[in-house]
Every structure is written in structure tokens, then in C-alpha cells.
A = this chain, B = another copy of it.
């Protein structure tokens, strides 16, 4: 598959960086939805969304493509790009890349029929994205927690890709890290790296022991009862995709510092995040 004209439409700083990077590789790139990008889009042709799509044979949409189910996710633009039938028609016959394809397919039966590839369903993408997320989480923790990670007691709930990067990072800084997980095989992985691991129930019983609590599970794990048990000086950070897993109201009621940290790769490592999408897209194009 030899696709030489790309459109990058919508998304945050990493999509803007992606457009630049493709242009830097000598690819013709049409852009739309980046009016407020702090970075110049050099070597790309900025235009309106429909034109961008129509000019290209490969279209790259953001992750997620929409937050409201109706318009494109365009945090760097004040214009609304409607995900209507006209836009869908423009996409027809193109190779459409998107993160979390289901959100696009749900819009209408015609959207579902498009030739969609989901870069967010690619395991290599997810691994590299998790590493970038863990680095961002590290910066968030160091910045928002008034002690050093070294010497602190840290709980991470959930044992997916992010945890597998973040737990050793925190341990290497000198933190005492415990991971709460559901499956005994996850306990084994963590314990075999010299960290503590146990059930969510045990985590709740031991809640007061932790200085830093990091949730990665998109389910109400750190619920009101859990929050009631944590130490006054603890900080809580929710890395799980919406709706997350921390009861923020309960935290506020107790005066406990808690915050949501989403889109960390785009925030802390936009260039790498763009590169990861680019390489995943190119790999998928090659394999087709």
C-alpha cells in the first residue's frame, strides 16, 4: 500500500507534532484543527477539515476521535468540526486511522462502514504509550507531592502496562512500592521483582499506610470507604481513563489532595507520542 498524501485532522499537541514529523519525512500533509497550537506547523498545508480529508488518501484522526459523540476532538481549535454524514462521505474510500475506533463507529452506521484502523488497538503502541504515561506520572508525583519519592510508601492499584513501567520506576527512586491487583499471577510478577503485591481488599485495610496512592483501574476502586481510611497527608492520583476510579468528592470532603492526570504522553512527551503514532500507522500501512 503506497499512500503518499496524508491528512491530520484534530487532536492535541501530539497530533500537531505528528503532522510536522510526517512533513519532515517528505510526505504531503494537509492539516486542520490546530489554529491554537503553540508549535508552528511547518511544511504542512493548513486548510479546512473537509478539504484536508478530500485531498488525502490517508486520514489520521485523534485519540479519542470525539468526546461528545457529535464533534471531532479538537482541543487546539475553537471551531467545531461536526462528525456528520458529509464528513463521513469525505472519509469514504480513504484509509482512516483513529485511536479507540469504537467511538467513531458508534456515530452512525455509515461511520461504522469506513475503512478504519485503530492505532490504539496495536500492542506496540500501547506498550510505548504506557512507558510515556509512566514518565509523565512520575513528573506529576514529584511535582505535586511535598516529599521525595525516596522513603515514601506508595500504592498502585491495578497491574496493567502502566503499572509495569511505573512500579519499578518508583522503586528505583527509593520508594516502597506495593501493587494491589485482582489476579494472583499479577501478585507473582510484582513480588518476583521484589515489591509487595496483594488484593484490593488488603489494600483497603492497609489504606492508612500509604503516602502516595495511584489508581490505574477505570472502576470505583478508591471509593468513599477507601478514602475514609487513607492518611491525612496522602496524595491520590488517578491515571485511569474516565470515569476513573477515585471518589474525588470524598477526597475533597476530607481535605485530601487528589487529582486526575490524563493524556500524559501528549502533555509531557508530545514529540515521542507523535512518533509512536507515526510508527504504528506506518507499520499498519506496511502490513496491509
Mark A residues whose CB is within 8 Å of B. 17, 123-125, 127-128, 130-132, 135-136, 138-139, 142-143, 145-151, 165, 168-169, 171-176, 184-185, 187-189, 191-195, 268-272, 275, 283
Chain B residues with Cβ below 8 Å from A268 are 142-143
- Given A147-B269, A165-B193, A174-B195, 11 new contacts (CB under 8 A): A123-B184, A128-B192, A131-B192, A135-B148, A142-B269, A146-B269, A146-B272, A147-B272, A150-B193, A175-B194, A176-B194
* This chain's copy number in the assembly: 4
Nearest chain B CB to A8's CB is how many angstroms away?
A: 17
Nearest chain B CB to A168's CB is how many angstroms away?
A: 8
Instruction: Provide the main secondary structure of the chain A interface.
Output: helix
Q: Is the CB of A17 within 8 A of B146?
A: yes
Given contact pairs A171-B194, A191-B151, A272-B151, A136 touches B142 in the complex (Cβ within 8 A): yes
Residue of B nearest to A133 (CB): B148
Chain B residues with Cβ below 8 Å from A169 are 172-173
Residue of B nearest to A164 (CB): B189
Q: Which of B132, B142, B151 contacts A138 (CB 8 A)?
A: B142
CA–CA, A136 to B148, complex, Å?
9
Residue of B nearest to A39 (CB): B146
